[in-house]
Amino acid sequence: MSKFLVFPKELLLELDDDDDNASTLADTTTTPNTTPTTEQERVVHQLIDDLMKSDTDDDEEHGYFKHFESTEEPVSSKSWSSIGAAIAAAMIIPSNAVRTVTFSLAWDCPVANFLGGKTYHRRYTKFYGTDGEAATNIAHDAILENGNWESLIEAWQRPTLKDKRLPEWLAQTYYLQLLMLTWSSISESPQQLSIQRDFAAAVLMHDSNKMKLLHDGQLVSRKVLGAVPHDIGIDDPWFEVNAYCLYNTDRWKDLNTKFVLQVYRDVVATGDKKFVQAVWPSVYVAMAYMDQFDKDACKAASTLACKVGYKDSEDYFWYKFLKAKDVYQKLWNGSYFNYDNSGSRTMAASMIHEGLVDMAFHTASGIFEAAWSEEGLGYSFQTPEAWNIDDQYRSLLYMRPLAIWAMQWAFSTPKLPKQEPKPEVEADSIGKHHAGFSKVARLLKLPQEQESRGVLQAIFDYTCKKILT
């Protein structure tokens, strides 16, 4: 027996079975008690009635949709109207046999539109065209290939899930905490590192158009030269960055540092010299911009300069690193270094690098218990940035939980060779480069931030000052 049931055009189901010595498996449903009030509801009710008809007519033995034959032309829905669809299947199942009904739902929306006016064709249109009529072909391919896809996913996950060295909760959470984009051609360009390239290009971007900050109403430039943006944008990605407008991220002290460290990480992981050559100008400018706030990522910048052959920059950032290194001694309290340990998974990855594997697993398990376990806080698939002892959370669906993959990286990658110790750098040898770097840093320095206070805050501050004096 072979049947096609099509309603509407985008829903396609094909059933095949050659065994006639079997019973029919039928689903039962209950007719809603409400009276249909719209044409759409009337159609749905009629479909349900057709499915529940008894097998009294040889021509309608299985109660197929008699009102909607597959030969009829599809009717377009009206703009802004809701549409409904139903699909039913019947098959013959021999005794002690198993039959599988496979169906696929697909839609073809080939164009991505952004508020800024730009449009882009989605990647899948490379294979299915851009006319918006490919839903049937997509559904067809999914029906034929879904078994192969599942096998590939299982093969990808199997080594981790079967790794007896990993706690069960950790192996599961890896794949629950993906938050990742899939790229089917990754094998063709495994070292593309396109996200870092996008941010590197944005570092050299300057957008003086004003945007209003939500927390105080100030108007600030959308993005200044040298600052690493908070994001690549929403209204016009890659061209209008920083959709985030709660605070002025141009004054944040961590984004530039993290950018330099991420570039260093990617170079260490891939060995891609072309990548570091491409982004080095952005790294240098990011370091110069950050100089007004802090002196971080100097060792990473020195190593990157070495990779591209800029000896003066290499020595200069190494000299700054040696000077800054002394500051760490101030954090020593006699037993350990005072530091911020708020990022459990990030800290756990550091522990694994230091050989403290059991301690790392114990530390990170708290996130699993809170987010995913039955006794937790119900954060499944939306792990927040943080939560407190009163179970109040901040920023659901945050990117920070992706740090779990830093644990896997630390656990699975071979030990990297330690860098050869570098000689001390004399201050006299870096004087010329210091002058050049300082000049760039001065050009990128932001003007003094105007203090924004409301009337009540100003009165409060004035009163406190008078009382204290």
β 111-113/2-6 pair status: unpaired
Half-sphere exposure of 204 (CA within 13 A, CB side): 11
Examine the domain organization and report whether 26 and 144 are in the same domain. Answer: no
* 144 SS3 class: helix
Examine the domain organization and report whether 384 and 325 are in the same domain. Answer: no
Examine the domain organization and report whether 240 and 149 are in the same domain. Answer: no
What is the C-alpha to C-alpha distance for residues 90 and 53, in angstroms, rounded to an integer?
14
- Establish whether the linkage from the previous residue to 423 is cis, with ω within 30° of 0: no
Other C-beta atoms lying within 10 Å of the C-beta of residue 16: 9
C-alpha pair distances (Å), 163 with each of 158, 323, 346, 392, 411: 8, 44, 21, 35, 11
Predicted local distance difference test score (pLDDT) of residue 258: 93
Examine the domain organization and report whether 199 and 302 are in the same domain. Answer: yes
Examine the domain organization and report whether 220 and 299 are in the same domain. Answer: yes
- Tokens in use for 367? 């996130």
Q: How would you write the pLDDT of the chain (469 residues) with one tens digit per residue?
A: 333 333 333 333 333 344 443 333 333 333 334 455 566 566 656 655 665 554 444 444 544 545 455 555 666 777 888 777 777 788 889 999 999 888 899 999 999 999 999 999 999 999 999 999 999 999 999 999 999 999 998 898 888 888 888 888 887 777 766 655 555 554 555 556 888 999 999 999 999 999 999 988 999 999 999 999 999 999 999 999 999 999 999 999 999 999 999 999 899 888 888 999 999 999 999 999 999 998 889 999 999 999 999 999 999 999 999 888 888 778 777 777 776 655 555 677 777 777 778 888 888 888 888 888 888 888 877 788 888 888 888 888 777 777 777 887 777 776 666 666 777 777 777 878 888 999 999 999 998 876 655 666 667 666 766 665 5
Predicted local distance difference test score (pLDDT) of residue 177: 63
In a domain, 123, yes or no: yes
* 120 SS3 class: strand
Examine the domain organization and report whether 205 and 308 are in the same domain. Answer: yes
What pTM was estimated for this model as a whole? 0.73
Show Cβ contacts of residue 209 under 8 Å, excluding neighbours closer than 6 positions: 221, 222, 240
Examine the domain organization and report whether 203 and 278 are in the same domain. Answer: yes
Examine the domain organization and report whether 349 and 313 are in the same domain. Answer: no
In a domain, 449, yes or no: no
Predicted local distance difference test score (pLDDT) of residue 173: 77
Structural domains in the chain (count): 4
* Structural domain of 242: 194-336+426-444
C-alpha pair distances (Å), 70 with each of 14, 91, 298, 391: 12, 19, 68, 54
In a domain, 284, yes or no: yes
Examine the domain organization and report whether 158 and 128 are in the same domain. Answer: yes
Predicted local distance difference test score (pLDDT) of residue 15: 34
In a domain, 455, yes or no: no
In a domain, 37, yes or no: yes
Q: List Cβ<8 Å contacts ≥24 apart for 234-243.
A: 234/114, 234/115, 235/114, 235/115, 235/116, 236/114, 236/115, 236/116, 236/117, 236/118, 237/114, 238/198, 238/201, 238/202, 239/116, 239/118, 240/116, 240/207, 240/209, 241/202, 241/205, 241/207, 242/211
Examine the domain organization and report whether 200 and 325 are in the same domain. Answer: yes
* 40 SS3 class: helix
In a domain, 183, yes or no: no
**Of 56, 88, 103, which closes a domain?**
103
In a domain, 55, yes or no: yes
Give one word for 102, left, alpha or beta, with left for phi > 0 and alpha for psi -120 to 50: beta
Examine the domain organization and report whether 276 and 349 are in the same domain. Answer: no
Residue 4's DSSP bridge partners are: 14
Examine the domain organization and report whether 216 and 309 are in the same domain. Answer: yes
In a domain, 181, yes or no: no
